[in-house]
Every structure is written in C-alpha cells, then in structure tokens.
Amino acid sequence: MKAYKCLTSDGFGVFSRFAWPLPDGEPGAWVESEVATCRSGIHACRSLDLPFWLTPALYEIELDGPVDEQAMKLVAPRGRLLRRIDAWNEESRLAYAQMCIARAGELAADASPRIAAWAPTPEQQLGGAAQLGFMTAQVAELLGGPDAYLEERRRQSEWLVEHLALA
C-alpha cells in the first residue's frame, strides 16, 4: 500500500518534531516508533487522507510491520522515507490553492453571505494547503451537508493524485 508522510519543510514531524532521516537518492534509514516518538507508532496517510495533513514537504513512505488502518491515518511500528515527492512544490501548492479557491467560489456563487464568508479569497492563496482545503470543504458542507464535505475532500485527494502523479 502506498503511503505518504507530510513533514515540515526542514524534514521534521509536525507533531512529533522528530527529525526524519531524509531520502537522498536512496531511501532514508528505518525508524522504529520508540525512537521516533513516545506516541504510538509511525504515522502516515493514504492518498485519500492527504488533503487533511498537507504540509510544505511531502514524501512517500514505506511502512513495515502490522499496519493499523485508522479512519484518517495509518500507524505502523516501523517506517522509512522512500523519496520526496518533488512534484509537490511551490508551483503545485499554488495551483492547489487556486483550485480550492475556484471551487469554493463556484460552490458559493449563489449562496448566502453567511456561507460565502467561509470561502477563501484570492488573497489567501499563499496560506496553508490544509487550511484552504478545509475552508472549501466547509463551504460544501454548509451547502450540502456532511456527504458534500467528504465528496469535496475526495475531489481534493484526486486532484493531488493526478497532479503529483501519485497513482
């Protein structure tokens, strides 16, 4: 199963602050969960989970041992980073942001001001990808309920898979 790891731009876990051994032509070193963090295991995500966890640096990760598939993430006892997904860069981040903003605009076109207030504006296109995705999905939910929220998130995931050639 292909899995992904979102790190800070300098290669640290967002919550664990763990300094991940980065791939450099070759996969990075294996990391055991006790080393990485006092929390449970190595965390990673599937492509469907990506929109929720996006950070400036995206990697492909190989997990080892029994993988616990949770609602929003994968947890395993061991993992190593295989490669940085270079396609996720400043340019594609901007494109993703613009996509989210456009989608929100489309959804909110005939919506009440209260709902439209959630839609991110062009000025915000330099904001975090996770935030923008959330705001757009939130507009969808306000208009179409929880299913619409999830549908919007799926769309975001599909956009990423296509534009970053993740399949």
Does position 49 interact with another protein (CB under 8 A)? The reply is yes
Does position 98 interact with another protein (CB under 8 A)? The reply is no
Does position 152 interact with another protein (CB under 8 A)? The reply is no
Residue selected from 11, 19, 131, 163 as contacting another protein according to rule CB under 8 A = 131
**Which is closer to another protein, CB of 61 or CB of 135?**
135
Q: Using DSSP bridges, classify how beta strands 78-84 and 31-32 pair: parallel, antiparallel or unpaired.
A: antiparallel
Distant-in-sequence, close-in-space partners of 149: CB < 8 Å, separation ≥ 6:
137, 138, 140, 141
Does position 48 interact with another protein (CB under 8 A)? The reply is yes
* CB 25 to another protein: min, Å: 30
- Cβ count near 46 (within 10 Å): 15
Which residue is listed with tokens 């860069």? 89
Residue selected from 34, 66, 114, 123 as contacting another protein according to rule CB under 8 A = 114
**Which is closer to another protein, CB of 27 or CB of 46?**
46
3-state secondary structure 77-126: CEEEEEEECCCCCHHHHHHHHHHHHHHHHHHHCCCCHHHHCCCCCHHHHH
Residue selected from 12, 18, 30, 52 as contacting another protein according to rule CB under 8 A = 52
C-alpha–C-alpha distance, residues 105 and 120, integer Å: 8
Does position 161 interact with another protein (CB under 8 A)? The reply is no
Does position 73 interact with another protein (CB under 8 A)? The reply is yes
**Which is closer to another protein, CB of 2 or CB of 39?**
39
Distant-in-sequence, close-in-space partners of 166: CB < 8 Å, separation ≥ 6:
2, 4, 47, 85, 160
Which x/- pattern over 13-32 shows residues binding another protein (rule: CB under 8 A)?
A: -xx-----------------
- Cβ count near 165 (within 10 Å): 9
C-alpha–C-alpha distance, residues 64 and 9, integer Å: 25
Question: Residue numbers of the site for another protein (CB under 8 A)?
Answer: 14-15, 38-40, 48-49, 52-55, 70-73, 75, 114, 117-118, 128, 130-131, 133-134, 141, 145-147, 149-150, 153-154
